[in-house]
Amino acid sequence: MNRRKFLEQSTQLSIAAGAFVQSPETRAKNHVRKSANEKIVIGVIGCNNMGNGIMNHALNQPNVECAAICDIDTNIGNKRADEVMRKQGKRPQLYGDFRKLLENKDIDAVIIATPDHWHCLPMVEACRAGKDVYVEKPLANSIGECNVMVKAARHYNRVVQVGQQQRSGEHWQSAMQFIHSGSIGTLRKVHSWANFNYAIGSRIVPDEPVPAHIDFNQWLGPAPLRTYNRTRHHGSWRFFWDYGGGLMTDWGAHLLDIALWAKNIKTPPLSVAASGGNFYSPDFAHEAFDTLSVMYQLPDYTISWEQTAGTQNGPYGRSYGLAFVGNDATLVIDRGGWELFPEIDKGGYKVPAIPKRSGKETHEEHVKNWLECIRTRKETNCPIENGRLVALYAHAGNIALRTNSRLEWNEAAQSFGKNEAANALITPTYRAPWEFPKI
């Protein structure tokens, strides 16, 4: 590829702040495999709860250094920078604007753990800057953003891990192997559910001045301009459509992933239907649904999703989980482990009973897999196409209820057919000066 052709392709992906243009030599250098003894230098964009956890899992691995941290809250940023200094003996550079972090040519890879509405632009720009990416789930706050993120990852040949960490968990893998082997018989239904008290949001409070340590305009980014209210900020942002999709995308991104993994589904559902609403209490600030039931029709089985925010009880004594219903047995799983409930026929079990299999936390294994793939340039356990597919399922569940319609996704047209109300929710309108990225 000559320089002129490369620059023409580079400028196709534009954002308000300008392009990060690399020479062909720089891009080639970024694609060279790293040996196990070579250092991987990371940057972190969004370093509060999830970002901090993922960063520390990365720093627990050999030959990993954090060179830079970006957060719009200087209190959090300074706290994390001090913690990293104590951990690695070198203080990372602190930024309030992710674009400045991406200009650092020493950084090989970035962790993006911002609110969902801020996943797309940093991820696309990181790919353009020649950096590999770990991006939290759901992949983005809209289907349209997910689509352009997939294009960016493949166009720039980046290693991307989506934070659906169950894909790297041993007990999740063993459960899928058990189902794939036919040990529960023909799989006909998958029930998934998530019931959590936190998902009703916070009690309604008045707006207030923006705290001095928060760059609220930068936090809003491409989302609509709003006055500051703490119920829409740290933690609770996920319950407002501008920034997140509630439990449907927060936990649906995890559990629907496993429901699709059971039959290695790579395609959208045939149809999506939903019912529910906000029924818990008018005293709590949230837009995303506190009560939601979704049914996904697939060619030879169905997936159901249930959420009841403000409660902690659920089927099989679990506040969240999945039940895989086969002809011969039902397999039930959560992060604590999985167990089998055999069907009874003629006074006996159709399949042998087995002891409950225990599980464990899988974030570290997921981060370790990402770092290994940065070195080998192999596919991660949760590649971006998988993150996009699961996000499509989750967003479609919300969109079905928001538009009160049964949806059918047309993958070729990237639309919900002639459903104008649903199509209007596929791609957000970015607030100036930010622009929706294009490849």
Tens of pLDDT, residues 145-165:
999 999 999 999 999 999 999
420 vs 249: CA distance, rounded Å: 22
284 vs 267: CA distance, rounded Å: 37
User: From residue 252, how far is each of 40, 192, 193 by CA, in Å?
Assistant: 32, 8, 8
Helices 384-402 and 143-155, axial angle in degrees (round to 10): 170
Q: In the sheet that 187-194 helps form, which strands lie side by side, from edge to edge?
A: 271-277, 291-297, 302-308, 187-194, 320-326, 329-334, 337-342, 357-358
**Residues 346-404 pLDDT 10s:** 889 999 999 999 999 999 999 999 999 999 999 999 999 999 999 999 999 999 999 99
CATH fold, domain 167-360+391-417, is: Dihydrodipicolinate Reductase; domain 2 (3.30.360)
**Residues 387-396 pLDDT 10s:** 999 999 999 9
**Residues 295-345 pLDDT 10s:** 999 999 999 999 999 999 999 999 999 999 999 999 999 999 999 999 999
Assigned superfamily of 3-165+369-382: NAD(P)-binding Rossmann-like Domain (3.40.50.720)
pLDDT > 70: percent of the chain: 92
In 3D space, the residue among 303, 327, 295 whose CA is nearest the CA of residue 189 turns out to be 303
Task: Indicate the domain borders of the chain.
Answer: 3-165+369-382, 167-360+391-417
**Residues 209-236 pLDDT 10s:** 999 999 999 999 999 999 999 999 988 9
Q: Is the pLDDT of residue 423 over 80?
A: yes
Radius of gyration of the chain (CA): 22
- 169 touches 368 (CB < 8 A): no
Determine the 3-state secondary structure of 204 from DSSP.
coil
* DSSP code string of 19-32: -----HHHHHHHTS
Confidence bin at 173 (pLDDT 50/70/90): very high
Mean pLDDT of the chain: 93
Give pLDDT, residue 12: 37
